[in-house]
Amino acid sequence: MLKDAIVIGTGFGGMTAAALLAKAGYDVLTLEAANELGGCGSKFDRAGYRFSAGATVGMGFEEGGMLKRLFEELDAPIPPMSKLNEIMNVYLPDRTVTYFSDKERWYKEVASKFEQDQERILSFFEEVFKVSNVLQNFVEKRAIFPPSTASEYFHLLKSMDVKLLGLAPYLTQSVQDRLSKYGLTKNKPFLTFINGQLMDSVQTTATFSPSLLGYMALSIFHNGAFYVEGGLASIIHALSEVYRASGGELRLRHKVVSIAKQGDVWTVMTKRGQVFRTKQVIMNAPIHNVFSLLEPELHRNLPIKEPKEKEKDAWGAFTLYIGAEPSFMMPETSSIPFHQFISSYDSPLSEGNQFLFSMSQEGDTRFAPTGKRSITISTHTNVGKWWERESYESRKEEYMETIIDSIDKRFSSFSSHIDVKMAGTPVTFKRYTQRAYGKVGGYIPSGKYSLLKSYSPNSGVEGLWFCGDTVFPGAGSLGSSLSGWMVADAIKGKHPRQGM
């Protein structure tokens, strides 16, 4: 039977597109290689605990927020979650900065923790908030970027307003350029703090982060950050429920191994040899996976070329999954779910020198038995070395030790409270999320102009669409979901259901 659309993958991008199309009456089939939904936003159960596989910080559910609007559009209940006032403690080598959602408290916090440059820092953040407000309005209109068809150009132009045009000078500047305008590049603790935040969102530091992308990232917590009960996988599961209730078909453990086109019909083949036919293919695997799936004759129309694909920079993740009894922290600290550790001002913010520690909250029994907590820790890592077999196990031990030592330095009895611990590497991510080479989190911006070099959700091959963190508008659950929404919009616009 000919499907209206086949979605490959159930990450934030794929599940968003699938749910929107099914809700609008399209006949959709979603194929997922893994046994679990959600890719980098998924979960797994071990030894009486549930662990978030990767993503932990919920965003976009504030009034008017992107995911809140998505659930409204789908007329679906939002999973239980709480908006955080104290979002994160950031442990720098000589001070702790608490990330408050409320702007006034945040201004007071930065002024007291970076006293030396407080006036300049406050002015910098005022600019960050002003610029990102304008950008937010634009992004919400879901124009496909970069545009390639007349209708995409038209939608893009329609989404722009005078205020957005006023941001043109920022297009040619990095965050570092802006910090330099405020005389803040010599303040090492502040710069490290900013770089730590940018690494977790934009995947690079101020020097290479386009200012507009960086400003969105630096303001996002102040729109709202959320603790989602049971982890971000609860959001994916809620989307899958709407999808199924709307008639969408979902098959787990169905890995797609090839995509080919005859006339205007696509055939999608799975590892088990099943063949499905459709008019539209939505690929939620990263763009760098496409070469191993798509028939070679169609490669020439793609935005990236195969030899370049291997070099395209993206981080891997080294993760630790720990089940623990939480009394190593004071109750007021353990009620903050997110903790960023930065051990040294002089080392790169990766490979264990910087990591995010996310802990389930008291009473969230989806995650851990009463009195225990589930912890997911992640640090950025260079993927290449994890594919060297000889050093794999010793490297894993070494990373585990480095991270646990850092936590022990801050919370002295941490290791003695551990019940269960497991590590994940780029090899693990490749195995469970299919991401080629274990590259996660979207591509690393290469400098101030990299926003202009984003990849479009429109693949350039008629009927093939991309969504997820390797295409515009970029990384994280929010960006991935938004790209899925753009794809659903585009398909609905081009191929309306009869009678709709």
Ligand X SMILES: Cc1cc2nc3c(=O)[nH]c(=O)nc-3n(C[C@H](O)[C@H](O)[C@H](O)COP(=O)(O)OP(=O)(O)OC[C@H]3O[C@@H](n4cnc5c(N)ncnc54)[C@H](O)[C@@H]3O)c2cc1C
Span interacting with ligand X, options 20-28, 54-62, 324-332, 489-497, rule CB under 6 A: 54-62
- The mark string for 254-293 relative to ligand X (x by CB under 6 A, - otherwise) is -xx---------------------------xx---x----
Show contacts with ligand X in window 348-367 (CB under 6 A). Answer: none
Residue 316 backbone dihedrals phi, psi, to 5 degrees: -105, 175
Considering the rule CB under 6 A, would residue 86 count as an interface residue with ligand X? no
Joined together, the tokens standing for residue 284 give 């939620």
Considering the rule CB under 6 A, would residue 40 count as an interface residue with ligand X? yes
Considering the rule CB under 6 A, would residue 486 count as an interface residue with ligand X? no
Show contacts with ligand X in window 424-443 (CB under 6 A). Answer: 433-435, 440-441
Considering the rule CB under 6 A, would residue 468 count as an interface residue with ligand X? yes
Q: Quickly count: other Cβ atoms within 10 Å of residue 401's Cβ.
A: 11
When the beta carbons of 37 and 128 are compared against ligand X, the nearer one is 37
Span interacting with ligand X, options 100-108, 114-122, 362-370, 473-481, rule CB under 6 A: 473-481
Residues 197, 263: Cα–Cα separation, whole Å: 47
When the beta carbons of 121 and 377 are compared against ligand X, the nearer one is 377
DSSP-assigned states of every residue in 412-478: TTTGGGEEEEEEE-HHHHHHHH--GGG-BSSPPP-STTGGGGPPPSB-SSTTEEE-STTSTT-SHHH
Considering the rule CB under 6 A, would residue 336 count as an interface residue with ligand X? no
Considering the rule CB under 6 A, would residue 197 count as an interface residue with ligand X? no
At its nearest, how many Å lie between ligand X and the CB of residue 311?
20
How crowded is the C-beta side of 420, counted as CA atoms within 13 Å? 17
Considering the rule CB under 6 A, would residue 34 count as an interface residue with ligand X? yes
Show contacts with ligand X in window 219-258 (CB under 6 A). Answer: 255-256
Distance of alpha carbon 243 from its chain centroid, rounded? 21
| CA 117 to each of CA 101, 123, 322, 416: distance values in angstroms, whole numbers, following the listed order | 21, 10, 38, 40
Considering the rule CB under 6 A, would residue 187 count as an interface residue with ligand X? no
H-type helices in 319-388, by residue range?
Answer: 331-334
3-class SS of residue 205: coil
When the beta carbons of 101 and 289 are compared against ligand X, the nearer one is 289
When the beta carbons of 41 and 445 are compared against ligand X, the nearer one is 41
| CA 398 to each of CA 58, 394, 403: distance values in angstroms, whole numbers, following the listed order | 30, 6, 9
Span interacting with ligand X, options 26-34, 77-85, 160-168, 391-399, rule CB under 6 A: 26-34
Residues 48, 299 contacting (CB under 8 angstroms): no
Residues 182, 124 contacting (CB under 8 angstroms): yes
DSSP-assigned states of every residue in 208-238: TSBHHHHHHHHHHHHH-EEEETT-THHHHHH
| Single residue of 5, 6, 11, 337 touching ligand X by CB under 6 A | 11
Which chain residues interact with ligand X by CB under 6 A? 8-14, 31-34, 39-41, 54-57, 59, 255-256, 284-285, 289, 317, 319, 378, 433-435, 440-441, 468-469, 475-478, 480
